Structure 1
Amino acid sequence: MSTILPVAQRGESILRLTAAKVAQTELNSEWLKQLAEAMYATMLERNGVGIAAPQIYVSKRVIIVASRPNPRYPDAPEMDALVMVNPEILEKSELTVLGEEGCLSVPDERGQVARAQTIQLRYLTLEGVTVETTLTGFPARIVQHEVDHLDGVLFIERIG
């Protein structure tokens, strides 16, 4: 059974930091795998569709994107959970879409945020394999939201 971790809340300094890149030596390590498992378990426990390592007090560039319908996002599309290490958004579409967002670090608050409809991104797997992909719609929104966490930005700063 994976560990459910506490989630940092708005106002805590960890959420303001720019997270450090995961080092080459940390890739494919037991530590990184356990971090990802704990992040995933914590996200599921709280009905999240994504989570960033800083939200569980680890200032590292690791996010999980796991869109699926749940009580917080009943219309979310179903996708396999993706663990992204050192994610980089390479390109964003000019077309932006307004959509409702919430955050495990800002409970009970939601708002409309404009995000790029489509993004191109590059990330590493836990094993260190480079992946380049294009995401669109809700999964693209989740990545943008979680990458913001890695840069010390909360969604509430993007409203209006």
Structure 2
Amino acid sequence: MIRKIVHIGNPALRQIADEVKRDEIKSAEIKNLIDDLIETMRDANGAGLASTQIAVPKRICVIEVKKNPRYPYKPDIPLTVLINPKVTFLTEDRINVYEGCLSVPNMRGRVERCPEILIEALDRNGDEVSFTSKGISAGTFQHELDHLDGLIYTDRMPDSSSLTTLEEFSEHYEDEFRQQVISIVDLYGS
């Protein structure tokens, strides 16, 4: 079922999501929530969606990038379901990249992200998963995990003057940013 995505200003986006107990993971409620997150993300052409973005305060997010029309420059990420995810930064380096958000419609802004991270979580079956993510993709994971802590990308912007509408981004900044993404992918592999 496609759910309503809440927008900036909605208190649900500022809630810190509750951990999901292992015995809850196989419940119909959690299975349906995960399916709804996937369907809603795909319907909205999102690169990811956290449960807080549909006003459900559970530590669950989904991520998938496959030739995404909202982010044509992002490398593909296979469908990933994360329950109770934790992130560990693996480097002191930071990249400064434009991000957008389904909860902040038609906007982009520059955010600093760690380009090499370790993610540990449970998958939709309750099995432990652990993997590294690098480059632009690492920023995508950090963006969704921030939502579970009540943060949106505008909270991470070191300089609010980079905030731009999607139309202005496309006209003035996207070409340069695409070149930056190519450099990041060359350096980090994704």
Which structure 2 residue ranges, 5 or more long, are not aligned? 160-190
Which structure 1 residue ranges, 5 or more long, are not aligned? none
Q: CA RMSD in A?
A: 1.1
TM-superposition CA deviations, 1:44-86 (whole Å, max 9, x none): 1111001100001110000111122222101111221100000
| Distance (Å, rounded) in 2 between the aligned partners of 1:92 and 1:99 | 18
Structure 1 or 2, whichever has the larger Rg, is: 2
* TM-score, structure 1 as length reference: 0.94
Equivalent of 2:50 in 52, 59, 70: 52
Alignment of 1:69-84 (within 5 A): 69-84=67-82
Alignment of 1:119-130 (within 5 A): 119-130=117-128
| Distance (Å, rounded) in 2 between the aligned partners of 1:130 and 1:63 | 15
TM-superposition CA deviations, 1:91-131 (whole Å, max 9, x none): 34211111110000000111111100010110001111111
Contact preservation (8 Å) 2:89, 2:114 = no
Structure with larger RCO (C-alpha < 8 A, sep 6+)? 1
| Distance (Å, rounded) in 2 between the aligned partners of 1:22 and 1:31 | 11
| Distance (Å, rounded) in 2 between the aligned partners of 1:74 and 1:91 | 26
Alignment of 1:87-126 (within 5 A): 87-126=85-124
2:169 — aligned with what?
Answer: none
* TM-score, structure 2 as length reference: 0.80
Tell me by how many angstroms 1:30 deviates: 2.0
